[in-house]
């Protein structure tokens, strides 16, 4: 298996772009994250009806676009509007806004009230190809080499619907010449079978990250995420992947009676297997219980847990933190 890239500082992965400041997965959010000096920009990818990879967090369009107003009557029986039911030229007509969720009574609730307003919705859903062009273009104009961090969303669900997400995404990476840049591209997925296939069948040279959910989140994979956090599970991951992407609360377990942060043994077990650890998601406007500010959060994960990188909605604050640390050394 090819070696993963090495970095001196933990890498800053812009989670859905600079999504703390601009609606997630818009080219505006990606351009901002690039300008803020993120090392990698994240792409969550799903397919349109005509099989085009688009950058969108959900398999649904309704939490971040005006699809319900623009295409009334196109929801499935569950009331949701699926990207897979829309041609790319229809998805291009949508306006993207800040994430809204629906509460039990069906009322719209803004997910992050302090962030960019839901109106005006002036943004679009980019294709993966367009986003790669943006990043390549900015790399050229700035002289940086900001990378891609691509997630395959719900590959098993796509297959049940008759679509091969992994192949479609890998074709775009190949078209754009990113299929053989292991220093500049990470691939991530919650589904272990897709990662095993990438490693053993498609033989990608790109580093693979096994994302770790909680079993009750309803990810579309049959994997047991409790098992993946054991020494045995991590040894298995190390046979096909270069690292893990755990949820921050799988590492940070709160405070002990004297106020010290309590950490699980996940990072040390992963390190014993030579796995990188890239936890998600670091948000200064949604801190875990017992943590008072972003610096404290980063201290716990970077100084204490010594993670290799992290997903954040606020790449500028992460970059500033790492710079302060560097200045103190």
Residue 165 CB, nearest approach to Ca ion (Å) = 14
What angle is formed at CA 185 by the lines to CA 153 and CA 200, rounded to 5 degrees? 70
The DSSP bridge partners found for residue 108 are 102
Token pair belonging to 266: 């996940």
Pick 40 or 116: Cβ nearer Ca ion: 40
Residue 47 CB, nearest approach to Ca ion (Å) = 16
Q: Is 24 a residue that touches Ca ion (CB under 5 A)?
A: no
Q: Interacting stretch for Ca ion, rule CB under 5 A, among 3-11, 40-48, 155-163, 173-181?
A: 40-48
Residue 141 CB, nearest approach to Ca ion (Å) = 26
Residue 15 CB, nearest approach to Ca ion (Å) = 7
Give long-range contacts, CB 8 A cutoff, 24+ apart: 295-301: 295/321, 300/252, 300/261, 300/263, 301/248, 301/251, 301/252
User: How far apart (Å, rounded) are the C-alpha atoms in residues 92 and 123?
Assistant: 10
Pick 156 or 304: Cβ nearer Ca ion: 156
Residue 235 CB, nearest approach to Ca ion (Å) = 25
Q: Would strands 53-55 and 40-47 be described as parallel, antiparallel, or unpaired?
A: antiparallel
Candidates 15, 25, 34, 278; catalytic one: 15
- Compose the 100-139 pattern: x for residues touching Ca ion by CB under 5 A, - for all others: ----------------------------------------
Pick 165 or 269: Cβ nearer Ca ion: 165
Residue nearest to Ca ion (CB): 151
Pick 56 or 261: Cβ nearer Ca ion: 56
Residue 151 CB, nearest approach to Ca ion (Å) = 4
Q: Would you call 242 a catalytic residue per the annotation?
A: no
Neighbours of 272 (CB within 10 A): 13
Burial of 57 (0-12, 13-18, 19+ CB in 10 A): buried
Q: Would strands 147-152 and 185-189 be described as parallel, antiparallel, or unpaired?
A: parallel
Identify which of 249, 311, 310, 317 has the alpha carbon closest to the alpha carbon of residue 9: 310
Candidates 57, 158, 242, 278; catalytic one: 57
* Of 58, 98, 151, 191, the one binding Ca ion by CB under 5 A: 151
Q: Interacting stretch for Ca ion, rule CB under 5 A, among 24-32, 41-49, 217-225, 319-327?
A: 41-49
Pick 18 or 269: Cβ nearer Ca ion: 18
Helix (H, G, I), strand (E, B) or coil at 108: strand
Binding positions for Ca ion, 72-101, rule CB under 5 A: none
Residue 203 CB, nearest approach to Ca ion (Å) = 24
User: How far apart (Å, rounded) are the C-alpha atoms in residues 38 and 20?
Assistant: 13
User: How far apart (Å, rounded) are the C-alpha atoms in residues 208 and 190?
Assistant: 11
Q: Interacting stretch for Ca ion, rule CB under 5 A, among 17-25, 103-111, 144-152, 282-290?
A: 144-152
By the 8 A CB rule, do 246 and 212 touch? yes
Buried b (16+ CB within 10 A) or exposed e, 91-118: beebbbbbbeeeeeeeeeeeeeeebbeb
Q: Interacting stretch for Ca ion, rule CB under 5 A, among 109-117, 127-135, 149-157, 321-329?
A: 149-157
Q: Is 58 a residue that touches Ca ion (CB under 5 A)?
A: no
Element at 21 (helix H, strand E):
none
Pick 245 or 261: Cβ nearer Ca ion: 245
Q: Is 44 a residue that touches Ca ion (CB under 5 A)?
A: yes
Instruction: Count residues near Ca ion (CB under 5 A).
Output: 2
User: How far apart (Å, rounded) are the C-alpha atoms in residues 100 and 63?
Assistant: 5
Q: Would you call 57 a catalytic residue per the annotation?
A: yes
Active site (catalytic) residues: 15, 57
Chain residues binding Ca ion by CB under 5 A are 44, 151
């Amino acid at each position: 298996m090819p070696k993963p890239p090495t970095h001196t500082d933990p890498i800053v992965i812009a989670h859905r772009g600079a999504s703390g400041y601009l609606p997630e997965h818009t080219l505006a959010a990606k351009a901002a994250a690039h300008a803020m000096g993120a090392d990698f920009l994240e792409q969550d990818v799903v397919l349109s009806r005509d099989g085009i990879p688009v950058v969108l967090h959900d398999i649904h369009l309704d939490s971040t676009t005006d699809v319900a107003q623009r295409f009334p009557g196109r929801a499935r029986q569950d009331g949701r509007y699926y990207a897979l039911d829309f041609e790319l030229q229809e998805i291009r007509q949508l306006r993207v806004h800040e994430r809204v969720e629906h509460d039990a009574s069906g009322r719209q609730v803004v997910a992050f009230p302090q962030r960019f307003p839901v109106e005006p919705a002036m943004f679009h859903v980019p294709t993966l190809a367009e986003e790669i062009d943006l990043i390549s273009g900015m790399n050229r104009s700035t002289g940086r080499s900001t990378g891609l961090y691509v997630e395959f969303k719900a590959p098993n669900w796509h297959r049940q619907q008759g679509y091969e997400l992994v192949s479609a995404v890998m074709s775009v990476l190949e078209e754009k010449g990113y299929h053989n840049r292991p220093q500049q591209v990470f691939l991530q997925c919650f589904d272990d079978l897709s990662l095993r296939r990438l490693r053993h069948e498609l033989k990608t040279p790109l580093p693979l990250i096994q994302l770790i959910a909680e079993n009750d989140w309803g990810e579309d994979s049959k994997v047991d995420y409790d098992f993946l956090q054991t020494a045995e599970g991590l040894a298995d991951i190390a046979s096909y992947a270069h690292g893990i992407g755990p949820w921050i609360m799988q590492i940070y377990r709160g405070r002990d009676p004297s106020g010290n942060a309590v950490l699980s043994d996940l990072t040390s077990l992963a390190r014993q297997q030579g796995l990188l650890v890239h936890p998600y998601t670091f948000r200064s406007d949604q801190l875990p219980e017992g943590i008072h500010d972003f610096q404290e959060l980063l201290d716990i994960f970077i100084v204490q847990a010594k993670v290799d990188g992290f997903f954040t909605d606020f790449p500028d604050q992460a970059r500033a933190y790492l710079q302060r640390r560097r200045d103190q050394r």
